[in-house]
Amino acid sequence: MVKSRKKNRPVLEKIAKSAAGADAGFMRAELYTASKAMGVLGEAGRLGDEFVQHLALQNLEAKPPVVLQGAAPNMLRGWLREHALRAKSNIVFVSETIDKNDKFKAAHERSQATSIPTLMGVVAGYPGAPNDNDQRYLSWKELVLVWARRRWGSHILAVYEHVDEAMGHLHIIVAKPDARSVRDLHPGAAKQDQKLHDLMKLQPPGLTYRERENACKKGARIAYEEGCRELQDEYFSAVSEPIGMQRCADKSWMRYGYKEALLRKRLNSEVSDLTADIDKREKEALEREDRNNAIEKTLAMQADAQQHKSAMLLALESGIKKDMSGLALELEILEKDKADAMRLRDELHKNLELLGSQLDAVKRIFSGLEDTYKSSIFGLSELVSSGVVTGNQAKEVGSMLKKLHDKNNALVTPIKKSA
């Protein structure tokens, strides 16, 4: 819809558009006085940081506009100064009327009011990025230019293409060379003025200016809206329909003032920060939960290990008790064995003492036998020497004595060794 001039230059911001309505562009036309025109010219021509704050809000970098027709952006400031001076110097003819104080005024001439709009800004938007490789976008640009030239002709000051925003759009600046009113170039405003003029003439005499104005206001507003719809229908037929674009989007475009857009950006930033903080906290919570689960798992494993260890200790303790019981029994047996061994030792000592006594006796007997053997041999030698016995007899007797002596030695030798 075509909208009338606003006191504050708004910042365009698209907040919602469904996929079904994403193929509908937009077009709007707004009126400006000479004193307020710098805003729209500055934005259209990217004439300074103060005119591209809406880009900063979207984190976009401003780029020079593409001039499709008319004056270069760097000429706009000088043009506006001359335009404002020309508008201020204009003289307009005013027919006889009843003024706002209900006083009759004859036809007269006066200076053009500063509240008269002398500039119109038209913006046509494409539902997609500005891309010269997109044949449909190129066709759209050409159709917009043809439509604008046919409607406003020589009143077009400049046409600029913006390529620094998400959606491609053209700015069409319209003004009359003599800096007079452009309300007649705006279909809505032209119909509104004509309707208001016709309705005022139909009011009965005797009414105050305010009464007549109130009686005509609704009809004039309806006429304004009709003119705007006609302009939108004309734009659709000339531009949108030939390239298959829709007449209306499922959801409308929202427009905000700069302060509101700035506030929304700050709120969006705060929401983003809060969302990031929430995400961070959720991540930390999940990490803590994972750590706690790991700790619980470790503790459970440690508890299982401790339980297993306790079971092993109990089993070991039971085994040790059994071993101690067995050792005690073995110790008791060993004590008995020790007592038996001591008793056997004592008996052995006694036997050894007795054996020693017997050995001593045997030794004495052996010694006596040895002496007897030696004395017998000696006596035999004497008997042989004395001729009592012959040598053979002596040998025979000696052999017998030696056998007896060896037999005695064989008996006594083991006893000596064991002793």
Spatial CA neighbour of 71 closest among 156, 161, 146, 177: 156
Q: Domain for residue 4, yes or no?
A: no
Spatial CA neighbour of 73 closest among 148, 146, 152, 159: 159
Domain total of the chain = 2
Residues 107 and 50 in one domain: yes
Residues 291 and 372 in one domain: yes
Residue 257 has pLDDT above 70, yes or no: no
Residues 246 and 321 in one domain: no
pTM (global) more than 0.85? no
Task: Please tell me the predicted confidence (pLDDT) of residue 22.
Answer: 53
Residues 240 and 326 in one domain: no
Percent of the chain with pLDDT over 90: 40
Q: Domain for residue 382, yes or no?
A: yes
Calculate the dihedral angle through the C-alpha atoms of 224, 230, 236, 239, rounding to the nearest 10 degrees. -90
**DSSP calls for 351-411:** HHHHHHHHHHHHHHHHHHHHHHHHHHHHHHHHHHHHTSS-HHHHHHHHHHHHHHHHHHHHH
What is the pLDDT averaged over residues 32-61? 90
Task: Please tell me the predicted confidence (pLDDT) of residue 332.
Answer: 86
What is the pLDDT averaged over residues 85-102? 76
Residue 299 has pLDDT above 80, yes or no: yes
Residues 22 and 57 in one domain: yes
Residues 217 and 291 in one domain: no
Task: Please tell me the predicted confidence (pLDDT) of residue 15.
Answer: 29
Residues 226 and 335 in one domain: no
With cut-offs at 50, 70 and 90, classify the pLDDT of residue 5.
very low
Q: Domain for residue 269, yes or no?
A: no
Residue length of the chain: 419
Residues 342 and 238 in one domain: no
Q: pLDDT higher for 14 or 352?
A: 352
Q: For 94-141, how does the pLDDT look when each residue is reduced to its tens digit (9 = 90+)?
A: 665 655 565 656 677 889 999 999 999 999 999 999 999 999 999 999
Q: Domain for residue 261, yes or no?
A: no
Percent of the chain with pLDDT over 70: 85
Task: Please tell me the predicted confidence (pLDDT) of residue 2.
Answer: 38
Residue 269 has pLDDT above 80, yes or no: no
Residues 99 and 232 in one domain: yes
The most confident of the ranges 72-81, 198-207, 344-353 is 72-81
Q: For 364-406, how does the pLDDT look when each residue is reduced to its tens digit (9 = 90+)?
A: 777 777 777 777 777 777 777 777 777 777 777 778 877 777 7
Q: Domain for residue 327, yes or no?
A: yes
* DSSP-H helix ranges across 46-134: 53-57, 76-89
Q: Which residues of 357-394 are buried (b: 16+ CB within 10 A; e: fewer)?
A: eebeebeeebeeeeeeeeebbeebeeebeeeebeeeeb
Per-residue tokens: 68: 């499709």
Q: Domain for residue 247, yes or no?
A: yes
Residues 58 and 143 in one domain: yes
Domain that holds residue 139: 11-256
Q: Where is the domain boundary, 256, 286, 303? A: 256
Task: Please tell me the predicted confidence (pLDDT) of residue 409.
Answer: 74
With cut-offs at 50, 70 and 90, classify the pLDDT of residue 161.
very high
Residues 205 and 118 in one domain: yes
Residue 249 has pLDDT above 70, yes or no: no
Task: Please tell me the predicted confidence (pLDDT) of residue 179.
Answer: 95
Q: Domain for residue 270, yes or no?
A: no
Q: Domain for residue 174, yes or no?
A: yes
Q: For 187-222, how does the pLDDT look when each residue is reduced to its tens digit (9 = 90+)?
A: 999 999 999 888 888 878 777 767 777 888 899 999
Q: What gap in Å lies between CA 73 and CA 80, rounded to an integer?
A: 11
With cut-offs at 50, 70 and 90, classify the pLDDT of residue 418.
low
Residues 224 and 352 in one domain: no
